[in-house]
Amino acid sequence: MRETAMTSRADQALAQAAVAALTGQLALVPKPGLPDPRDLTARVTRRDHRALRWSAKALAPGLTAMAAAARRTGEPTPRLRAELGAIGRCAEHSVGLAGGGHRGALWALGLLVAAAALEPGARGRDVAATAKRIAAHPDRAAPRRPSRGSTVSAKYGAAGARGEARAGFPHVRRALDALATSRAVGATEPQARLDALLTVMSTLQDTELLHTAGPMALRHVQAGAREVLEAGGTATEEGTAALAALDTDLTERGWSPRGSAGLLAGALFLDSLPVMIKEA
């Protein structure tokens, strides 16, 4: 009985760490083209920031169930992949009732939470490698109709969310590296997180952006993110000015690189794991 209670607490701790990573991503300012606390009424981004915070918290039960399923299964098997898919579809419904959003983040965080439950005490890259092994299995119970992401991936040759997972989350790993690099040169935590977001934006083939605005918009966003990083990042005056210009530009155009935000949340979750496990 005691062991079951401890396991349940560990699963809940992983889920809460994932939710904290997502809400931490939401709190960053300024996020070019993405919802942040400056736009509470969603006049610009069309995604109400307060609703996104509430719906992020609605992910906790589903993520806890994913961690429990992984711990119970014990291996990254096809059976686990199918169970995670079923839990994820139920969690999507719950999040929809709470306000919607976070579909891409749920996919990434669900796999990473399950991988962390399979490998207690593992750090970022090892957890990402385990998530890759889970994602390698097809979800045979998934709906047969093509998703918007899979349709865009096929049209433009983009990896998409599934490709990102099956490659071991390369952009999550790049974001982790960016966090470490920015912190090492004295950036504040929000600056380091913004640099990590821009690192993802600079190379990700964002299927959400491709769907809403096309490949020219994607290249424009990637180039703008690189300009901020090449100016020294958000801890420098030049980088701050470049970030402000990119933010204004994307806001005026209505372009939103949502896929990058979800992957940053994945990186923040992995980054929290050593501290979170110690506290649990």
| pLDDT tens per residue across span 99-119 | 566 677 888 999 999 999 999
| Mean predicted confidence (pLDDT) in 176-187 | 96
Per-residue model confidence as pLDDT tens digits over 28-50 = 999 998 888 876 554 444 556 67
Beta-carbon contacts of 237 under 8 Å, excluding residues fewer than 6 positions away, are none
| Statement: residue 182 has pLDDT above 80 | yes
Higher pLDDT, 265 or 40: 265
Mean pLDDT of 117-141: 92
Residue 2 has pLDDT above 50, yes or no: no
Average the pLDDT over each of 42-56, 66-80, 194-208 and give the range with the smallest value.
42-56
Residues 77, 91: Cα–Cα separation, whole Å: 21
**What φ, ψ does residue 189 adopt, rounded to 5°?**
-60, -45
Domains in the chain: how many in total? 1
Could you report the per-residue pLDDT of 218-248, keeping only the tens digit for each?
A: 999 999 999 999 999 999 999 999 999 999 9
Range in 89-93, 107-111, 199-203 the model is least confident about: 89-93
Residue with more model confidence, 202 or 3: 202
**Residue 279 confidence (pLDDT):** 47
243, two tokens: 């970030």
Cβ atoms of 95 and 123 closer than 8 Å: no
Q: Would you state the pLDDT for residue 146?
A: 64
> For residue 162, what are the domain limits?
2-279
pLDDT at 121: 87
**Mean pLDDT taken over the chain:** 87
CATH, residue 62: 1.10.4200.10
pLDDT category at 261 given cuts 50, 70, 90 is: very high
